[in-house]
Amino acid sequence: GAGVSQTPSNKVTEKGKYVELRCDPISGHTALYWYRQSLGQGLEFLIYFQGNSAPDKSGLPSDRFSAERTGGSVSTLKIQPSEPRDSAVYFCASSSRRWPLDTQYFGPGTRLTVL
């Protein structure tokens, strides 16, 4: 079946501009995660959605970042205003949250460059 998809694959923008990244999780997966990976680094947790529960926003680096998940499916990560230090690859992952099938499956990522 289809995996996690993310759009756009690559985005270049200027400092101060609004950025919106989209994630389509695997159909039926109730849990959705956002991570980011700076150049040469590991993945850093940003935010986690599980069903209708309040999201875990503990990883968001500042109040310039926000995310939403509509209808329990598609999610968007928003940055306003963007800054050069936000440049990274942003990954989305989803899981079914049903043990032992709770593996997190990652999308291909969105490479964000803020000039």
Partner 1 sequence: GENVEQHPSTLSVQEGDSAVIKCTYSDSASNYFPWYKQELGKGPQLIIDIRSNVGEKKDQRIAVTLNKTAKHFSLHITETQPEDSAVYFCAASEGNEKLTFGTGTRLTIIP
Out of 12, 14, 20, 45, point to the residue binding partner 1 (CB under 8 A).
45
Q: Residue 84 — φ and ψ, nearest 5°? A: -55, -35
Residues forming a β-bridge with 67: 77
The alpha carbon dihedral of 85, 87, 74, 57 has a sign of negative
Pairing label, strands 43-50, 65-69:
unpaired
Select the residue interacting with partner 1 from 21, 25, 33, 67 (CB under 8 A).
Answer: 33
- Closest to partner 1 by CB, 50 vs 81, is 50
Asked if residue 77 binds partner 1 (CB under 8 A), the reply is no
Residue 44 contacts partner 1 per CB under 8 A = yes
Does position 48 bind partner 1 by CB under 8 A? yes
102 belongs to the binding site for partner 1 (CB under 8 A): yes
Binding flag, residue 31, partner 1 (CB under 8 A): yes
Least distance (Å) between residue 16 CB and partner 1 = 28
d(CA 2, CA 12): 27
Q: State the residue for tokens 């999201």.
A: 55
